[in-house]
Amino acid sequence: MKIYIWGTGKWAECVEKILDTDKCELMGYIDNDPGKQGKYFGAYKIIGWQEISNFDYIIISVVRYQPILYQLKNYVHDEKIICFFDEKILVNSDKYLFIKAKDWKIAFLQQKVESLEQTLGKRIENLPYEIEEKAYCNLLPKPQIENREKVLTKIIKYGCSIIRFGDGEFDIMMGKNHPVFQDNNEELAEKLKKIIQSEEKKLLIAIADNYGNLDKYTEEVADGIRQYMTKPNIREFHNSVLDMKRTYYDAYTFKCYYPYKDKSKAEREYTLVKRIWQNRGVTIIEGDKTRTGVRNDLLYNARSIRRILAPTCNAFKVYNRIFEQAIKIKKDDLILIALGPAGKVMAYDLFLEGYQVIDIGQMDTDYEMYMAKSNGRIPNAVKYVADLPAARVEDIYDDDYKKQIIARIE
């Protein structure tokens, strides 16, 4: 039996140890991250999945294996894939004679216990804030956040702009490195602090509705919020930069599907969101691998689409060059921005210049999940997908998309 192990973390090493080498041959490790490919994990080379050949099984050592299954579904037969942490497969572990069944079951239980300990601990720590809102006590400080309907009314009816703040922006303001999109930068941190405390009319400052009751979110999303909000000093810092007397707006306005338990509302919500650019000329300022609205109908009702492409990561390093191109946009165009923390500064500066600017962030990723009716993030060969392990994004051959690009900053 010729075996590949998918993943290069703690559990990949565990899988290797419990293989019966008298009954199988380990060929190597697979990882989506281009930065790991070509290097070695122990004695074995790490490759991309497209390089594998002449094998009997791929063992996925990743706990959240669903995106990998989605990635492989049209290329590798299901019978050749073993998800190490899929309980349905574990029940039939005796079928796989090249894996030591007892050790497999022990590792499975160990992972479950570790995960449960961490999850329950965070749930208990965050519980007072969740209970307090349900009981309408208002004893603990938390910001007031208007919902999606109010946001869309202000954008569509009154021509407001919106800038959204998430954990990445808060981390940068705290002086912490955030591994996605943008390295920490003191100048950027100060600009973000200025923006979140700004009080310009027709500019909506949006933050995630993460401070109290989390019942509307899926268990996975709610637990992710708890993991973040219970980190040392996080809630205290949020409270220090937010004004509990002002009204904020929901930063999840453009994520109508993935975060929520009730996904039946997504179609109606996205129909309302699309009214923002109905029959309008749109210019998108985005990361060069973001490709908002490409190969889906998210922007089908816009009158025209133009794009300014910037680096997907660390765009703030070339901020001035991006702004030089952005300021050339026609004033009656609607500007959509998906550019990480640097995009918040861009949105603010363009708003001050008289543009209507919508900071849409990862809306396209959520829309793709909605279209696929997926319960989790799914890989996309031609788009950067945040919150998935790093992966190579392929070039795209689409004449309409290329015609939309009016500037590219590298």
Q: What is the CATH number of the domain that holds 66?
A: 3.40.50.720
Query: Which pLDDT score is estimated for 300?
Result: 97
In a domain, 138, yes or no: no
pLDDT per residue as tens digits for the range 355-398: 999 999 999 999 999 999 988 777 777 787 776 666 677 888 88
Beta bridge partners of 283: 306, 335
Long-range contacts of range 134-140, CB-CB < 8 Å, 24 or more positions apart?
134/213, 134/215
Do residues 47 and 156 both lie within one domain? no
Is 55 a member of any domain?
A: yes
Give backbone dihedrals phi and psi of 156, rounded to 5 degrees, phi first.
Answer: -80, -45
Domain range enclosing 42: 2-107
For the stretch 146-169, pLDDT in tens is: 999 999 999 999 999 999 999 999
241 and 320, same domain (yes or no): yes
Residue 176 pLDDT: 83
- d(CA 230, CA 214) in angstroms, rounded, equals 14
> Which among 107, 134, 163 is the end of a domain?
107
Write down the residue that tokens 């939309």 correspond to: 404
Does residue 221 share a domain with residue 367?
A: yes
pTM of the model: 0.87
Q: Count of CB atoms within 10 A of residue 8's CB?
A: 22
Q: Are residues 188 and 263 in the same domain?
A: yes
Residue 127 inside a domain? The answer is no
Q: Are residues 182 and 57 in the same domain?
A: no
The pLDDT, as a whole number, for residue 391 is 64
Place of tokens 């009016």: 406
Q: Cα 272 from chain centroid?
A: 22
Range 101-110, long-range pairs (CB < 8 A, 24+ positions): 103/17, 103/18, 104/18, 107/11, 107/14, 107/15, 107/18, 108/84
Query: Residue 136 domain-assigned?
Result: no
Co-location of 174 and 27 in the same domain: no
Last residue of a domain, one of 107, 130, 165: 107
Residue 63 within a domain = yes
Pairing relationship of beta strands 40-41 and 44-47 according to DSSP bridges: antiparallel
pLDDT along the chain (410 residues), means of 10: 95 96 96 90 93 94 90 89 94 92 95 94 94 74 94 97 96 80 86 96 97 95 96 95 96 96 96 98 95 95 98 92 97 96 97 98 93 83 71 82 96
Do residue 368 and residue 286 come from a single domain?
yes
Same domain, 250 and 321: yes
Together in a domain, 320 and 174: yes
- On whether residue 330 sits in a domain, the answer given is yes
Of the candidates 107, 133, 162, which is a domain's last residue? Answer: 107
Tell whether 130 is covered by a domain.
no
Residue 223 resides in a domain: yes
Residues 223 and 169 in one domain: yes
Residues 247 and 358 in one domain: yes
Pair 93, 159 in one domain = no
| Number of domains into which the chain is organized | 2
